Every structure is written in C-alpha cells, then in structure tokens.
C-alpha cells in the first residue's frame, strides 16, 4: 500500500488526491496538544504517501485513540481497557438511539393493520423493543469499567463530570415515564405524546454529545501525574 | 514484557518500530515503509504515530532535532534493551513452536 514512487494517472490521481486531502483534514481531529507535537510530521508523511481509504480509516481510529489518550495521559490507568469500553459504549448507545428511531417510525396508527395483515410488523416491533433493551444493558456493561476507574481515582471533580451522563439518563427516564403516562391516561393525546417522543430523541442526541464531552473531561481529570508525555 | 505492557493494539507495531530503528534513525515515512517490509503488512499513519507517542513516552525512542518537518527518531539504550528482550522471547517461542509442530 505504500507509495511506489511512480506517477499516478487520470482517475487514480484524482482518487489519490481526494483521499490524501481527506487524510490531511483528519489530522484536525487529534487533540490540540497532540497536533502541536506531531502534526507537522504527520502532514509531511501524508503529503509523501499515497492517499487511500484504509489510511483515512486508520487516522480516524488514531484520532479517537488520541482523544481518549491525550498527551499527558500516563500509564497504569488501564487505558486500553477504557478505550475498548468507550468504543463499546458508543456502539451500544448508537444502537439504542437507532432502535428509538425505528420505534418512532412504527408508532403509526396502522401498526395494528399491518399486524392483522400478517406482514410481520408486530414481530419487528417486539424485536426493536428487545434490541433496545439489549443495547441498553450493553451500554451499562461497557460503562462500568469507566465508572469503576473514576470511583477508584477518588477525584471529586472527575466524579462530578461522571455524574453528568447519570443525571441526563435519569432525566431521560423521567421523560419516558411522562410519555407512558400521557399515552395511558389520555387516548386523545397521541399528537402530544409523539411530540414528546421526538423531543426525547433530540434530547438523547444532545445528551450523548454532552456526555461525550463530560467523559473526555473526566478522563483528563483522572490522568496520573507520573509517567507523562511532557512534549 | 515490561516495556510492552498495556500497549494493546500498538504492541506489534511498537516492536516493529524498535527493530526498524535498531538500524539507524528514521523519520515517519521511511519508518512506515520499513515497518511494512519487516512486518509484511502496511501500517497506517494513525497507528504509526500512536505507537511512536507511546514509545517516546516510555523513553524507548527519542526524536532528533531536524531542520524540516520530517523529524527523525532514534532508539534509546532502554529501547534497544527492550527490543533485544522481546526478540529473544520470540526466538524461544519460535524454537519451541517449531519442535512441537515438527518443522
């Protein structure tokens, strides 16, 4: 996959140019401290090397890793485990949100009609519910090592950042309870209930972004003082 | 395994980088090509610099001053020792594995 040194022609050159430009742009995703130390070298390398989708993907993974291991992050903190946990947490949470959108798509009044026609809609409805439950449990399991490391750190400020997603999750659960209450107590409130459902999904998306920010601040707070990169 | 503990997916690239630098100092692009030659598989820039940052933080390699953007790296004494230890360990494994599978 390395650059053979020969000139690229026509479509190959255009494709190479696109991926190379994208790769150079992806360096922006690295943390500021990381870019100060390594960006010039990386730009020099990327300008010399062939641009490929594989290299862009590798840079994306590297940027995620660098965000989770910002320069100054030392050893002895089981960061590899935490990185894996964060990856699984992101995946499980994305699955949970996707299940929510799929669920909202099936909230139409003709669900019963589909079920009666034997289209399998009812089965899909239950599968989505089961999938959401599995994703929620997986997210909790993936979050556990991160929570445990925060508790072990004993840093109150770090734990305060960790409390952000917890508070957001409690507020989300309260919103879901309100939605269920509206649906059960007022049969004419379908429109209001659907509005609340969409609002909850938007809240979930915003909450995810804010939680990601809080998680990053938490990881930065809990970095050990010894064995650091000081460049 | 001390120097290579908790390197996760960067363990193999890190060893390849140390072995590559055992020859002479190299900058990013040359390292990427040499590591590909040594390992038989390409290494991406994100993986390369992820491994370089870890090796530098552990004092196994150090960056040399450079006039242009391409900064060369060289092996430290600790890095050379870590590479030797790891290669010896692999040699032992290969010897035992060869005996067992009858190569």
DSSP per-residue codes, A77-132: S-HHHHHHHHHHHHHHHHHHHHHHHHHHHT-STTHHHHHHTT-SHHHHHHHHHHHH
- CA A112, CA A187: separation in Å to the nearest integer? 16
Nearest-CA distance from A50 to chain B in Å? 11
3-state secondary structure at position B66: coil
Q: Which residue has the tokens 């750190």?
A: A153
Mutate to test the interface with A, among B25, B36, B57, B73 (most CBs of A within 10 A): B57
A180-192: average pLDDT: 66
Answer yes or no: do A44 and B69 touch at CB < 8 A: yes
Q: Do A80 and B6 lie within an 8 Å CB cutoff? A: yes
**Under 8 Å between Cβ of A140 and A85:** no
| B6 contacts A43? CB cut-off 8 A | no
The answer to whether the Cβ–Cβ distance between B42 and A2 falls below 8 Å is: yes
pLDDT digits (tens, 9 = 90+) for A37-67: 899 999 999 988 888 899 999 999 999 888 7
Q: Mean pLDDT of all residues in chain A?
A: 72
Instruction: Kindly determine whether residue B45 and residue A49, on different chains, have CB atoms separated by under 8 Å.
Output: yes
Measured CA to CA, the distance from residue A215 to residue A68 in angstroms comes to 9
- ipTM of predicted assembly, 2 dp: 0.87
pLDDT digits 0-9 by tens, A146-156: 777 677 666 77
Q: A92-106, A136-150, B58-72 — which one is most confidently predicted on average?
A: B58-72
Residue with tokens 């991926």: A19
Contact (CB<8Å) A59/B46: yes
Taking CA atoms, A19 is separated from A12, A16, A23, A132, B49, in Å, by 11, 5, 6, 36, 19
Query: Taking the model in full, what pTM does it have?
Result: 0.54
Q: Is B16 helix (H, G, I), strand (E, B) or coil?
A: helix
pLDDT at A6: 39
> Which of A73-77, A85-89, A134-138 has the least mean pLDDT?
A73-77
Query: Which of A38, A72, A229 is most worth mutating to test chain B (most B CB atoms within 10 A of its CB)?
Result: A38
Predicted pLDDT of residue B92: 94
Measure Cα distances from A169 to A11, A194, A212, A216 in Å: 49, 20, 13, 18
In this prediction, residue A70 has a pLDDT band, given cuts at 50, 70 and 90, of: low
Backbone angles phi, psi at B58, to 5 degrees: -90, 0
CB-based contact B58 A75, cutoff 8 Å = yes
Smallest Cβ–Cβ distance between A2 and the set B5, B8, B32 belongs to B32
Q: A158: pLDDT confidence band, cut at 50, 70 and 90?
A: confident
Average pLDDT over residues B58-82: 91
- Give dist(CA A58, CA A49) in Å, integer: 14
Q: Which residue of B has its CA nearest to A59?
A: B46
The answer to whether B29 faces chain A, any CB pair under 8 Å, is yes
User: What's the pLDDT band for A202 if we cut at 50, 70, 90?
Assistant: confident
Could you tell me the two tokens for B83?
């590479």
Measured between alpha carbons, how far is B89 from B86 in angstroms, rounded to an integer? 5
Q: Is the separation of the CB atoms in A58 and B45 below 8 Å?
A: yes
**What is the sign, positive or negative, of the torsion defined by CA atoms of A61, B12, B7, B97?**
positive
Beta bridge partners of B63: B73
Question: Do the chains contact at B29 and A231, CB–CB below 8 Å?
Answer: no
Nearest CB among A23, A44, A66 relative to B28 is that of A44
- Using CA atoms, how far apart are residues A71 and A78, in angstroms rounded to an integer? 15
Using a CB-CB cut-off of 8 Å, the residues of chain B touching A78 are 6
In this structure, what token pair is assigned to residue B87?
């290669």
């Amino acid at each position: 996959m390395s650059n053979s040194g020969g000139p690229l022609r026509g479509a190959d050159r255009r494709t190479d140019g696109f991926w190379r430009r994208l790769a150079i742009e992806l360096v922006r995703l690295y943390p500021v401290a990381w870019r100060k130390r390594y960006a010039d070298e990386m730009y020099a390398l990327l300008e010399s090397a062939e641009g490929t989708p594989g290299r862009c993907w590798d840079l994306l993974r590297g940027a995620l890793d660098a965000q989770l291991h910002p320069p100054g992050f030392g050893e002895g903190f089981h960061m590899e485990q935490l990185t894996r946990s964060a990856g699984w947490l992101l995946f499980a949470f994305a699955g949970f949100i996707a299940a929510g959108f799929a669920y909202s798509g099936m909230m139409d009044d003709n669900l019963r009609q589909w079920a009666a026609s034997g289209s399998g809609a009812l089965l899909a409805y239950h599968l989505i519910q089961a999938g959401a439950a599995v994703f929620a449990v997986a997210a909790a399991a993936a979050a556990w090592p991160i929570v445990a490391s925060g508790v072990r750190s004993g840093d109150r400020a770090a734990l305060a950042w960790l409390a952000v997603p917890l508070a957001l999750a409690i507020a989300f659960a309260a919103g879901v309870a309100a939605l269920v209450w509206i649906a059960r107590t007022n049969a004419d409130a379908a429109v209001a209930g659907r509005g609340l459902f969409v609002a909850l999904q938007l809240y979930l998306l915003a909450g995810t972004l804010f939680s990601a920010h809080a998680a990053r601040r938490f990881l930065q707070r809990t970095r050990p003082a010894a064995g650091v990169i000081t460049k | 395994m001390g120097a290579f503990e908790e390197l996760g997916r960067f363990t193999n690239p890190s060893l390849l980088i140390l072995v590559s630098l055992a020859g002479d100092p190299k900058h990013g692009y040359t390292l990427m090509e040499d590591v590909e030659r040594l390992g038989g598989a390409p290494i991406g820039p994100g993986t390369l610099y992820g491994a370089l940052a870890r090796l530098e933080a552990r004092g196994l390699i150090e960056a040399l001053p450079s006039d242009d953007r391409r900064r060369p790296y060289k092996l430290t004494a600790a890095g050379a020792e870590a590479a030797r230890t790891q290669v010896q360990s692999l040699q032992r494994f290969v010897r035992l594995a060869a005996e067992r599978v009858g190569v």
